[in-house]
């Protein structure tokens, strides 16, 4: 009998599925509603668009439900070298995209994903007695929503500009390029365009933060999360705005080629988009529950608590107003920052999935 539904078949939905499987649920107990059956498809396209070769995440940035063994262990064994392990201890190991995707494909083949995934879009989650009705697809006692980012963010002033392309869409590079944005995608595009021989202008609203991971490492720990969860609504919203500001890693990988290009007159920072022939919007994704039709409807129909664009969640990522001992509604991925600042990372997906699994197993009607 199917007891659990995962709404969303991207990477976060995939790590939720692998976590549920490791926790003892059989494939026939889980239904995954996915717009694409390949859980890596959307991420793979975006990585290819920005020519990404290595992950920003560390050794444990993978889809296995446990952190260990990570990709550093896998690479060390394949290369018969301790170097990946030493780099991991020093927080300097960044797995190759090819290794990450290869492991994800192997995991997909052996975990039962294709037997549980259904290609369908869920547009409404409606509470019913003992569970949730999913848009005509049936009723499930436990539902985890992992619908991902609600769409690419293009600045309003560039919408319809024929010169503009989003960084996560396929593109080549003109001779004169303006890159709008200041995060990891923007930094990657600066280097890509320079390597293609372009003259590059960086347009940004603020100076980017330089840090190795999406959010500081303490927010991946119990102590850091406990402090975060104690914050009041206004302070937590302000903290999230700070933590989710554009950032990219420090180090020679970016600094040296940018300094060299600046000295050659091929890289500079300006305040506004000028007349260059191509504008690349490295501006990430739209944010907030209102940008996701499923979540917007859920909030409107059930009066859920919100703050500064986020749905207010319990520390375990559940929607408290609609969850009890017999049913669970949880959010994972980008909609779940209120519970876990790095919710849209693989580690964040596992955080929500493990808490969800605990509730499923504790349910007296399971």
Domain borders along the chain are 4-58+97-151+286-362, 156-208+246-281
| CATH node for 4-58+97-151+286-362 | 3.50.50.60
Backbone phi, psi, residue 336, to 5°: -110, 20
Q: pLDDT tens-digit profile of 38-55?
A: 999 999 999 999 999 988
Q: Tell me what the pLDDT averaged over the chain comes to.
A: 91
pLDDT of residue 56: 77
How long a stretch of residues is the chain? Answer: 366
For residue 224, the model assigns a pLDDT of 96
Tens digit of pLDDT per residue, the chain (366 long)? Answer: 568 999 999 999 999 999 999 999 999 999 999 999 999 999 999 999 999 998 877 645 667 787 666 655 566 566 666 665 555 545 566 678 888 898 899 999 999 999 999 999 999 999 999 999 999 899 999 999 999 999 999 999 999 999 999 999 999 999 999 999 999 999 999 999 999 999 999 999 889 999 988 899 899 999 999 999 999 999 999 999 999 999 999 999 999 999 999 999 999 999 999 889 999 999 999 999 999 999 999 999 999 999 999 999 999 999 999 999 999 999 999 999 999 999 999 989 999 999 999 999 998 765
pLDDT tens digits along 205-238: 889 999 988 899 899 999 999 999 999 999 999 9
Q: What angle do CA 231, 292, 108 make, to 5 degrees?
A: 95
Largest alpha-carbon pair distance within the chain? 68
pLDDT at 77: 62
Q: What's domain 156-208+246-281's architecture?
A: 3-Layer(bba) Sandwich (3.50)
Enter the tokens of residue 236: 């937590």
Beta strand pairing call for 176-180 and 199-203: parallel
- What are 121-145's pLDDT values in tens digits? 999 999 999 999 999 899 999 999 9
Buried/exposed code over 39-65 (b: 16+ C-beta within 10 A; e: otherwise): bbebbbebbebbebeebbbbbbbbbbb
According to DSSP, the β-strands at 209-210 and 125-128 are unpaired
pTM: 0.92
Q: Do domains 4-58+97-151+286-362 and 156-208+246-281 have the same CATH topology?
A: yes
- Three-class DSSP category at 38: coil
Q: What is the structure's pLDDT at 179?
A: 98
């Amino acid at each position: 009998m199917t007891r659990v539904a995962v709404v969303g078949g991207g990477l976060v939905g995939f790590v939720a599925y692998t976590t549920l499987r490791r926790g003892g649920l059989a494939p026939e107990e889980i239904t995954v509603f996915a717009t694409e059956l390949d859980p890596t498809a959307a991420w793979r396209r975006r990585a290819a668009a920005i020519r990404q070769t290595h992950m920003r995440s560390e050794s444990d940035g993978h889809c296995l439900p446990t952190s260990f063994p990570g990709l550093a262990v896998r690479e060390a064994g394949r290369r018969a070298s301790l170097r990946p392990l030493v780099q991991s201890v020093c927080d300097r190991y960044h797995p190759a995209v090819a290794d990450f995707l290869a492991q994800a494909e192997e995991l997909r083949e052996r975990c039962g994903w294709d037997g549980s995934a259904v290609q369908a879009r869920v547009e409404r989650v409606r509470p019913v007695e003992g569970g949730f009705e999913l848009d005509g697809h049936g009723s499930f006692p436990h539902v985890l929503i992992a619908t991902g980012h609600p769409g690419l963010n293009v600045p309003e002033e560039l919408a319809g500009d024929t010169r503009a392309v989003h960084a996560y869409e396929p593109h080549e590079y003109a001779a004169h390029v303006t890159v709008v944005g200041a995060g990891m995608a923007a930094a990657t595009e600066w280097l890509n365009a320079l390597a293609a021989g372009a003259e590059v202008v960086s347009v940004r609203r603020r100076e980017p933060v330089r840090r190795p991971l999406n959010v500081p490492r303490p927010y991946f720990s119990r102590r850091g999360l406990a402090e975060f969860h104690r914050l009041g609504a206004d302070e937590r919203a302000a903290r999230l705005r700070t933590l989710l500001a554009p950032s990219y890693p420090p180090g020679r990988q970016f600094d040296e080629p940018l300094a060299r290009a600046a000295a050659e007159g091929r890289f500079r920072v300006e305040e506004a988009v000028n007349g260059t022939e191509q504008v690349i919007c490295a501006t990430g994704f739209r944010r907030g529950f209102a940008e996701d039709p499923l979540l917007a409807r859920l909030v409107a129909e059930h009066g859920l608590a919100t703050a500064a664009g986020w749905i207010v969640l319990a520390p375990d990522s559940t929607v408290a107003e609609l969850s009890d001992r017999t049913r669970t509604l949880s959010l994972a991925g980008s909609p779940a920052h209120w519970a876990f600042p790095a919710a849209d990372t693989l580690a964040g997906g596992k955080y929500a999935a493990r808490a969800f699994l605990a509730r499923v197993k504790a349910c007296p009607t399971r």
